[in-house]
Amino acid sequence: MPDDRIERDIAIAATPRQVWAALTEAGAVSAWLGGGKPAEVDLRPGGAMLVDHGAHGALLARFERVEAPRYLSFRWSQGAAGEEPADGNATLVEFTLAADGSGTRLTVAESGFAALTLPPAVRRDRQQENAGNWPHALAALRGLAEGRP
């Protein structure tokens, strides 16, 4: 796999605390990342996040670092729906929030696709799907943080 990392950033006309709330509160997570029933969020290192991702089933993540309102990271399974993230089946997702004038610059990076113990075609598909989905998720997150539906 030529590049093991997806990185996207977006300018948001809201404070880092407002963006943090949209990024981490259960109802908001459901709106920008899920689309199904409300997410379950245990926002602490080692805590779980369970997101109903519609046709893709329940996505399970484990928080690694929680540094409000500047940095958040979690590992989520790229395997079967509801599968516990572990070595060989999970990627690392990192969010960095930085004050930017009167708003916030939010950067998301997802890495670890090359280490997945999935067939190469499945790894490639997961990375391509995730790369295509992050712009939509970030746009929805921006809308929530800026107070738009």
Cα 58 from Cα 96, distance rounded (Å): 25
Query: Which pLDDT does position 9 carry in this prediction?
Result: 96
Q: What is the mean pLDDT of residues 89-118?
A: 96
Its pTM stands at 0.94
Query: Which pLDDT does position 34 carry in this prediction?
Result: 83
Q: What is the mean pLDDT of residues 105-113?
A: 97
Least confident span in 45-59, 63-77, 128-142 = 45-59
Kindly indicate the confidence band of residue 149, based on its pLDDT and cuts at 50, 70 and 90: low
- Number of helices and strands in the chain (H, E): 3, 7
pLDDT digits (tens, 9 = 90+) for 8-31: 999 999 999 999 999 999 999 999
Query: Which pLDDT does position 55 carry in this prediction?
Result: 74
| 58 Cα distance to chain centroid | 14
pLDDT at 97 over 80: yes
Please name the helix (run of DSSP H) or strand (run of DSSP E) that holds residue 48, with its range, or none: strand 48-52
List, in order of start, the domains of the chain with CATH numbers.
5-145 (3.30.530.20)
Q: Higher model confidence: residue 70 or residue 3?
A: 70
Residue in 42, 39, 63 with CA at minimum distance from that of residue 51: 39
